Structure 1
Amino acid sequence: MVNVALEKLGKNLYLYPGSPSTMIKTGEKTVIIDPGNGSKRPKELRRELRKIGVEINYIIATHAHADHVAIVPKLDKPLFIHRYEFSIAETPLNRELLTFGSKAPKGFLVYQFPSEVRVHAIFDWSDELFGLRALELPGHSPGMTGFLDEENAVLYAGDSFFGERVIEGVGLPYLIEPNLFKESIKRLVNYAEEGVLLIPSHGKSVKGEEALNLLEFNLKRVEAGESKILELLKTPRSVSELSYFLAKSFDAKITPQALALNQVPIRAIIADLYNKDLIEPVIEEDLKWKAKP
């Protein structure tokens, strides 16, 4: 990503594209949102900020997944994060628990890293931080937060929705609670209808009709996943089997990592279907689930 340059989004507002992209708000103090990961990333960010004559003063994270906060220790600046994400950020094991569901095999996840990430301050939804308003967008993670720059009509939405290529690659949007994820998408629709530029961490910035179409794609893919799982459970299946057959049905990647990560949203959907009394557990040499008649 050496040749990537800052994109100017508006007054005192910039974007460093990537996966995740990093938003930068300048002014009296310079704050960066979701610094990201990778050994070269700190040097790249500092290089681009020098070009506009500023240095990092503070860091905000939309949530505590490793790919969003891995380089925080190397930047050595105060980190602000939602209170629901605090313990996830500070403990490497907690990050793996949220991402994988348990301790992950060494090197199995792309963004495993052992460093502690020290949180200096926590915030709540609706708080104002450095000219940005914290928005409630959970579903992908417990304290998933978007940041709205009202002056520039720009909303950095983190992983509350994803670019189309990202979803097509893995099959399902990564989520831990499908209903919260869908509610957050519907909140984002309101901003898109008002002409706000929406920026996902993984995917290109979108506005207007393009934004509405992408949000609809995210919503429909979750709903399709729910329907396909219920259909697949006409035959009793384990979570692992569901992960494989669901990926096949979406023409997504079939890799150990993708299948393992997809088990997280699948378990979340299974919990919801069970709560709605649509499926039940069965034992057939393994714990499986089946649709009720």
Structure 2
Amino acid sequence: MKWSRLPLGPIQTNCYVLSEKDGTCLIIDPGDEGIKLNNWLKEKKLTPIAILLTHAHFDHIGAVDFIRDSFKIPVYLHKRESKWLNDPSLNGSQNFMMIQPMRVKAADQLIEKEELLTIGAFQFQVLETPGHSPGSVSFYFENDKLVLSGDALFQGSIGRTDLAGGDGKQLIKSIHDKLLTLPEDTLVLSGHGPETIIEDEMNSNPFLNGF
């Protein structure tokens, strides 16, 4: 499996495209610039088969409808945020002056629990990692030694918890219980900024020291 990072939108949210040899791919958090993303996929001759959302904040969902409609593919989101896509007060778009309030159509598949999911040739574990938002999840690809952590864990930092449903203690617990327990060489693909590895965050992330 290959992965690509495309920073999109006004705050450069990382959209990830995971692809297999047959050209099928998963799109994680298509935050904005749907035309740009669509053109990139066509240029790379990739065929999306699903959109996965780590959570439903506006900067992670802005291109969802465009890409979903372009390729006729399902969107996966945790059930705790099932109403957020169409609610600007919950997805945060009404508070961001650079964009219009955002309303996205409902998810096609709701994630209800931690489980092993298979979509096409892709198999991965859903990890519930709330704290940044109530329905935040991470996607762990054990065979490829990588986890997509959304806005839970960053290189040298963690997600903010001052938005709707945020909980700082819960976020720290999620990181320690679900992410730092992964193999230390696991690659972390975050919602913003560069990639990191679990070992580095265990040893040097200042927000996690002392726990």
Structure 1 or 2, whichever has the larger Rg, is 1
Partner of 2:27: 32
Give structure 1 stretches of 5+ with no counterpart.
1-10, 224-293
Preserved contact between residue 62 and residue 102 of structure 2 (Cα < 8 Å): no
Aligned counterpart for 1:188 among listed residues 149, 163, 179: 179
Alignment of 1:17-166 (within 5 A): 17-18=6-7, 19-27=12-20, 29-37=24-32, 41-75=33-67, 76=69, 77-96=73-92, 104=95, 108=97, 110=98, 112-127=100-115, 128-130=117-119, 131-164=123-156
The letter of the residue matching 1:26 is S
Q: Is the Cα contact below 8 Å between 1:161 and 1:218 reproduced in 2? A: no
Structure 2 length normalisation: TM-score?
0.78
Instruction: Give the unaligned 5+ runs of structure 2.
Output: none
1:153-191: CA deviation from partner (whole Å, max 9, x where unpaired): 110000112344xx6xxxx84111112101122131122
The answer (yes or no) to whether the contact 1:162–1:173 under 8 Å persists in 2 is yes
- 1:212 to 1:151, Cα distance in 2 relative to 1, 3 A: same
Residue 210 of structure 1 corresponds to which residue in structure 2? Answer: 200
The 2-side partners of 1:140 and 1:49 are apart by 29
Given that 2:151 and 2:159 are in contact with CA atoms closer than 8 Å, whether structure 1 keeps it comes out as no
CA contact (8 A) 1:32 1:60 kept: yes
Quote the offset at 1:220 in angstroms: 4.8
TM-score, scaled relative to structure 1: 0.58
- Structure 1 CA distance, aligned partners of 2:183 and 2:189? 11
Higher helix proportion:
1
Tell me the number of residue pairs that the alignment of Structure 1 and Structure 2 aligns: 192
Q: Is the 8 A contact 1:134 1:146 kept in 2?
A: yes
Which amino acid in 2 is paired with 1:140? H
Query: Does the CA-based 8 Å contact 2:180-2:198 persist in structure 1?
Result: no
Is the contact made by 1:192 and 1:198 (CA closer than 8 Å) also made in structure 2?
no
TM-superposed deviation, 1:208? 5.1
Instruction: Specify which structure has the higher proportion of strand.
Output: 2
Cα distance 1:129–1:143, how it changes in 2: closer, same or farther (>3 A)? Answer: farther
